[in-house]
Amino acid sequence: MSKNNLTDTILSDEEEREQQIHELIRGKRSLNMNIELCKSSTFGEKLADRIASFAGSWSFLSFFGMIILAWMITNTRLILSRPFDPYPYVFLNLILGCIASVQAPIIMMSQNRESQKDRLRSENDYLINLKSEIILEDLHMKIDDIIHEQKVLKKTLREIKMDMDKYNAEEHLRSGLDGKGDTGRKEPGLYS
């Protein structure tokens, strides 16, 4: 492969890499997972989330505690002569068991959705971190290129200054050897 072909390949790779980085920068990676999942949620999933959020609240515990207390007071022998669910409250236990058997899967559905949200959030965070890492790596490469160019320019300037100093010294010697002496004119130099 000739030097020109290699240079063309390297330049095209750099240009392609630069285009990919700019496309990555323009592309938005951060998403609000709650909004994204609400867009695709079914009615049953939304209902499960609402039930789970209510069933795990103090208002639910207070409300349910009052219902049980009212049930127990209503079914005591002191208030009613023939209570429909006397003391061991067998019917109340049956109702509580049924509520628990229905409530547990609903809460599990909601928890599964939350774990799905967490997985999507972590994947989204990974993509954002990857994007940031790629951008930082690109910036480091550009800074390294700039530093390299500065070193080359400093070296070139040093060489030019040395050549100018050498040229001025030779001119000074030449003018002294010709016998012309000092005419009072100063030769133009690089930094004069």
pLDDT tens column, 32-46: 777 777 788 889 888
Q: Say if residues 80 and 74 touch (Cβ distance below 8 Å).
A: yes
- What are the residue ranges spanned by the domains of the chain? 17-143
The mean-pLDDT minimum among 11-25, 44-58, 105-119, 141-155 falls in 11-25
Whether 11 shows a pLDDT value over 70: the answer reads no
pTM: 0.55
Whether 5 shows a pLDDT value over 60: the answer reads no
